[in-house]
Amino acid sequence: MTPWVVVAIVVTVIAWASAFVVIRGVGSHLGGGELALGRLLVGTVLLSLLLIGRPWIRPTGREWLLIVVYGVAWFGAYNVTLNIAEHTLDAGTTSMIVNIGPILIALGAGIFLGEGIPKWLAIGAGIAFGGVVLIGVGSGMAGLGNGIGILWALIAAVAYTIGVLCQKRLMRRIPSTQVTWLGCALGALVCLPFAGSLVVQLQAAPVSVLLGVLYLGAVPTSLAFTTWGYALSKLPAGQLGVTTYVVPAIVVVLGFAAFGEIPTVLAIVGGVICLIGVAVSRRRSQRDRDPSDGLLTPETPLVPAAPQNLSQ
């Protein structure tokens, strides 16, 4: 793994962690769809600048289908459902639930890409989902709203997974910047029905909310998705997805510093169990190990004991 890949991963993780906190901060003034649209419009404009002077690869019909699913699922559905989830959940709890994404990615690769589901992946998935249940129990003590928020966060995790599985396939031939721009533009397109209410809500909101929207579009969207795309072009999606499980810890610290919010004890325990599940899912049986284990190269398998490569 080159230094530039490491830098790309670090930038991505920190930027996405900050997004959970900023969303929580501006969410009381903007609806889930409105915030998603504002963020994606800013992101699309900035990503357009990165395409200037770059060659354009014409997607095939199959690639266009993947692009549409990728854009609608990750940029559209993920952002809307994540924003709605944070209307009732604190940033830390939301990030812990969304963090089951790496396991969903690995399971998706095993089921839909023929990479198989090794024993440790199945065990890790069971542990992680047990953690989600515990988060639900802990957060549910605060009321029904939190339970609904957990459901929205789970939907966001699924949308994130679908996006990953499509993106990697696309970047086998199309540059990551082009793929990211297309996804962001399509996400903005499906969120356009919220345009009128976005204008109304921004007019009534303080300037800090507008700055928050600009930040979300500039850093966690245009910058972080670009650095993620670069890293994903160098590493298997399953290996790269696991790096994001440090995000919840960062989010909890930032959320406490910004709002004095901290997940319930049961939610924190559930989050730790989720991380343990992700870690367990990365294990391999002794017979599946080889000398290259632990080396993050383009040839590294997507999931433990999986025979091939895969997509975030």
Structure confidence at residue 235 (pLDDT) = 79
23 closest CA partner among 71, 96, 78, 91: 91
The more confident residue out of 113 and 235 is 235
Phi/psi region, residue 270 (left: phi>0; alpha: psi -120 to 50; beta: rest), is: alpha
pLDDT at 227 over 70: yes
- Looking at residue 28, the DSSP 8-state letter turns out to be T
Mean pLDDT within 89-96: 88
Q: pLDDT confidence of 29, banded at 50, 70, 90?
A: very high
Instruction: Give the distance, in angstroms, between the CA of residue 26 and the centroid of all CA atoms in the same chain.
Output: 19
- Of 57-66, 96-105, 227-236, 238-247, the one with minimum mean pLDDT is 238-247
- Looking at residue 290, the DSSP 8-state letter turns out to be -
Structure confidence at residue 210 (pLDDT) = 97
Place of tokens 């730790």: 272
pLDDT digits (tens, 9 = 90+) for 267-286: 888 888 887 887 787 675 44
Round to whole Å and give the CA distance between 275 and 251. Answer: 14
Round to whole Å and give the CA distance between 307 and 304. Answer: 9
**Tokens standing for 234?**
């160098």
* pTM of the complete model: 0.80
Round to whole Å and give the CA distance between 171 and 298. Answer: 13
Q: At how many degrees (to 10) do helices 207-216 and 32-51 cross?
A: 50
**Tokens standing for 78?**
């993920």
Round to whole Å and give the CA distance between 168 and 9. Answer: 16
pLDDT digits (tens, 9 = 90+) for 123-147: 888 888 888 778 777 766 555 457 7
CB count in 10 Å sphere of residue 55:
7
Domain locations in the chain as residue ranges: 3-288
Place of tokens 């357009």: 48
- Of 61-70, 85-94, 190-199, the one with minimum mean pLDDT is 85-94
86 closest CA partner among 273, 263, 228, 253: 263
Structure confidence at residue 142 (pLDDT) = 54
Cβ-contact 268, 116 below 8 angstroms: no
One DSSP character per residue, 237-271 reads HHHHHHHGGGHHHHHHHHHHHHH-----HHHHHHH
Round to whole Å and give the CA distance between 33 and 122. Answer: 34
Phi/psi region, residue 79 (left: phi>0; alpha: psi -120 to 50; beta: rest), is: alpha
Structure confidence at residue 37 (pLDDT) = 98
How buried is 266 (Cβ within 10 angstroms: 0-12 exposed, 13-18 middle, 19+ buried)?
middle
